[in-house]
Structures are given as structure tokens and as C-alpha cells.
Amino acid sequence: MGSDFVGTPSEVRVGRLSATCPSCGQSSLFLRAKRRRQRKADSLLCAGCGAEHFYTALLEQVTRRTISDAQSALERARARRKKI
């Protein structure tokens, strides 16, 4: 791991959902860049494959999954309501 990244690996998490690395799809652990900009613009390094990603891209991934999960739940609820 490059010297531009520090700290212990951590997850990009919103509630119970965590982002996974878009490159390897395996790891959900990331290291934060030494160069501190605004948190949303920080680069994160995948602890598994070493690919670099922006915090906002990982956050967007979790947001899209949350929206998809909510839409699926609504569709299931509507289907159950129609059966009654």
C-alpha cells in the first residue's frame, strides 16, 4: 500500500449497508489518503486490490443499493396488498 495512504482499513457504511470495491468486488475495507481535502473528495484505497476510489463514488454505490432495496420492498408490499 502506498505511503500516501494511512490508518487502519475502514468501511464506507450507511446504516447496515457497506460499499464494496468497484474494481475487485470483494473488499469492503478502504484506507484513507494522507492528503486531507474535504471528506467527500478524499481518495480511498481498497485494502484488497489496491485500487483508488473517491469517497463520493463509494457513497453513491451504497445510495443506489438503498434506493433499489426500498423499491423492491415497495413492490413486494404492493403485490401482497393486491392479493388481499
Q: For residue range 51-63, list pLDDT tens digits in order.
A: 999 989 999 999 9
Q: What are the residue boundaries of the structural domains of the chain, listed by start?
A: 5-83
> Cell 481498497 appears where?
46
Lowest mean pLDDT among 16-20, 25-29, 35-39, 69-73: 35-39
- Cβ atoms of 73 and 46 closer than 8 Å: no
Query: Is the per-residue pLDDT at 47 higher than 50?
Result: yes
Task: Please count the other Cβ atoms lying within 10 Å of the Cβ belonging to residue 28.
Answer: 19
The mean per-residue pLDDT over the stretch 34-47 comes to: 72
Sign of torsion over alpha carbons 22, 18, 2, 34: positive
